[in-house]
Structure 1
């Protein structure tokens, strides 16, 4: 038996499940769904290995903070071809704002592919400190310049946010966060109430917020459905935070959420069939502010940057756990748990 036989025979066996899935996908939508999920996750795994390799090389040549950019573009190059989903981007020039806090809507694990399309250079992610010691993942995140936040207690959390802002300024890097904190995929284009962690970070650091909105892709991807298509991404103009104070954060959260929600509904293609489109309520205790997305958000003044809606929400950061980026919410069994303020990165299929 020749050397080539030893090489190609194992590859043939490894590719057999993929070929069977591809064949079944031609006849069954369910098989097509699982085939594309398999392709998507396989591509993600491949790019994870690729990322671990190039993070070492790029760190050695002084390009440490571009690791996420190259891994993201590599993933989009492969995944867009294997699952057939591509993106049209509007307002891409706003992604060059740096340093900044970038916030995006979070629908499902498929968000990774839209991040792959638009993730800017010199941009990091925020993650809980425990991930820093995870095998392979922790080393990759450290090499790529991830900002780790210690959420052990309120004092450490607020110090971590302050330190994160200082690190971003010194490195001249941006950071990406999902302010919804968890998946929000549904048939009608909508978003969950925002958590305040990203906005506290922006205000404490006096950095602009760059909102990014990906079209609602329920029509292409949901449980049992995974079809090819073209989706839209809209990058909105930066929202300045110069002169804002911690007590202005609730109003800032509402304003950014409203312009993002308006953009989401504008770019999303309606799903065929009857749909009950009920508007989502604003965050508890805050007055919903309706803003026309065509109207620019004025820079706040130094004396009173933003109008407060609820005095209970505007407690100084030295007292309130809300202003420290940590929210305590009741769990299903009635006990209180600490929930991450917008630092969740990706999720599983919804």
Structure 2
């Protein structure tokens, strides 16, 4: 049951065979076996060499990879379906906890903002679990791309084509409890949804990048958690930007959580009227009761004493564009890493 190499080793190794037997075998070997064929015309074989297969186009590679990734997404709940369920359950708990925020009164202005933070913060942190999946997929990619099965362009496009609609679904599941329990602006629902999805897109692109940057996925997970905590710290609800030291203040201005949250708040508040203010603040009562304004725009402008990053001058669609731009920048870096790793 052994191989030919093992058999030859057995019969020619003095540790296993007698020296006399080995000498007989070696002396029987014809030393000039190759010399007998020098100058002899090789026999003609009437056969054609197999044709070299042409490489498939990028579009065909993309279609094949898209189909494979779609099957993997359906079969592995870790990628998206489990996170959809988590987002729905977690945000339901958050919405019930902030149930009183459904009252459009002065005291519930800040709780409405914090609920929006939790709505994308919890699902964003859950992206850490898929780094292991993306890391495993990247190692498969390295083997297949080195065998010439497809190129990095098709791989990246297929990955993003599956990711974008699934993230839109993730944002939808996260926002449904907020609208069902607390109630946010239906006029700004599209903008809130897209702003939320933009933050999810950035988080997913960050997870994909960290999955290919490190040899072990656990290092990528640790890096993701650390970066996410920094983004949460600078999102505009915990620390006043004016109190942040200058060397770190730039984080506040490029923080996708901050940009996305300000866009979501702007979309919601511009259509809201908050009770308890009156026409000129006569219903506010004595300090220290919170008294910010009647219309949503006035509330945002007067909110600066507590949350300096919020105002009615925010351009929500521009903020969404910036978040998407940051996600594309991460994708570009991921592409460079993927190409160099071939």
Shorter-chain TM-score tier: under 0.3
- Bigger strand fraction: 1
- TM-score between the two structures when normalised by the length of structure 1: 0.27
Q: Comparing both structures, which one devotes a greater share of its residues to helix?
A: 2
Indicate the structure (1 or 2) with the bigger Cα radius of gyration: 2
